[in-house]
Homo-oligomer: A and B are copies of this chain.
Amino acid sequence: MKIVTISREFGSGGRELGKRLAQQLGFAYCDREIVAAVARKSELSEEYAARAGEQAPGFPLTFRRTLSLPAGQQPGMKVLLAQREVLKELAARGEDCVIVGRGADVVLAEYRPLNLFVYAAPEAKLRRCRERAPEGEQLAGRELSRRIRQVDAGRAQYYRLISGRTWGQKEHYHLCVNTTGLNLKSVAPWAAGFVQSWFREEGSL
């Protein structure tokens, strides 16, 4: 079984790359179904599961308020534990897949996944977020920059919590792709080629 994990900076296009990659490779693409399963398991809303599943519990403030509760009742922690189970169940299915975010590179390390990190220059992320924001939900430039930094800080803290390592350090990934100025559609085929050639080598070790 082949697992590709994609860690990505907010606004870098990592999710789009993941989708296109899965399409090219004929792999399952796992994203919202993880959130839905985590929400069911932890008996919390999907919206909460989506946010808490990539943020260290206690971060940001909305979670911090609940930290005085015992760990088992602390909703952020419930989500993280449920998510770990969901990811393990997903891998146990044995299906080739691309998983975006959620620290799947760490949780599923025993399956020797291929780990990508997707990033971009601040201006490029800002532009991408602006283009993709739903009508009426446009944030002003400054506010949007702050939001991008905040989301990534949460992801970094979550990653440190589950791995003890620094998020985005190239040493932890097999390939790091800077999407600044890149057309993800035209880049997906070569990325798929890399994935295939990498798994061929892994298989022959």
Contact = CB atoms under 8 A, between A and B. Distances in A.
Contacts of A177: 175
Nearest to A198: B182
A200 interface: yes
Given A119-B170, A178-B170, A187 B194 contact: yes
A70 interface: no
A194 B202 contact: no
Interface residues of A, number: 29
Count of this chain's copies in the oligomeric assembly: 2
A183 B203 CA distance: 12
Contacts of A183: 197, 200-201
Interface in A178-205: 178, 180-183, 186-187, 189-191, 193-194, 197-198, 200-202, 205
A23 to B, nearest CB: 16
22 contacts: A117-B170, A119-B170, A168-B170, A170-B178, A171-B178, A173-B176, A174-B180, A175-B176, A175-B178, A176-B176, A181-B202, A182-B198, A183-B197, A183-B200, A187-B197, A187-B198, A189-B193, A189-B197, A190-B191, A191-B194, A193-B193, A194-B194
